[in-house]
Amino acid sequence: MTDKSILLEAEQIISGPRRESYGSVEDSFNRIAKAWSVVFEAPVTAEQVALCMIQLKVCRELNSHSRDNLVDICGYAALLEDLS
């Protein structure tokens, strides 16, 4: 267990190394949306990508609690706000 709040940890992750590794949230999530649009044969938006990633983490949390799931949910919610 860490002394750091999940909100602080999520903020540090999305504004630090992952941002540097994956580039801007707009570019990254738009790239994912284009790929998913091909798979689903329907338009997918960057915002929908963020919502689906949150739902993925909710499903994992329902199966088994992990602090990482909660941190990632917070991170994806913050990224969704950035996309709006």
Q: Is residue 50 part of a domain?
A: yes
Q: Is residue 75 part of a domain?
A: yes
Angle at 33 between CA 32 and CA 38, to 5 degrees: 100
Distance of CA 84 to the CA centre of its chain: 14
What is the distance between the alpha carbons of residues 72 and 53, in angstroms, rounded to a whole number? 9
Q: Is residue 52 part of a domain?
A: yes
Residue 21: the pLDDT is: 84
What pLDDT digit, counting tens, does each position of 9-53 carry? 999 999 987 777 888 999 999 999 999 999 999 999 999 999 999
Q: Is residue 23 part of a domain?
A: yes
Q: Is residue 1 part of a domain?
A: no
Residue with tokens 């917070």, as numbered in its chain: 74
Residue 2: both structure tokens together: 């860490």
Number of domains forming the structure of the chain: 1
Owning domain of residue 57? 6-83
CB 71 within 8 A of CB 9: yes
Q: Is residue 45 part of a domain?
A: yes
Burial environment of residue 31 by CB neighbours within 10 A (0 to 12, 13 to 18, 19 or more): middle
Residue 2: the pLDDT is: 62
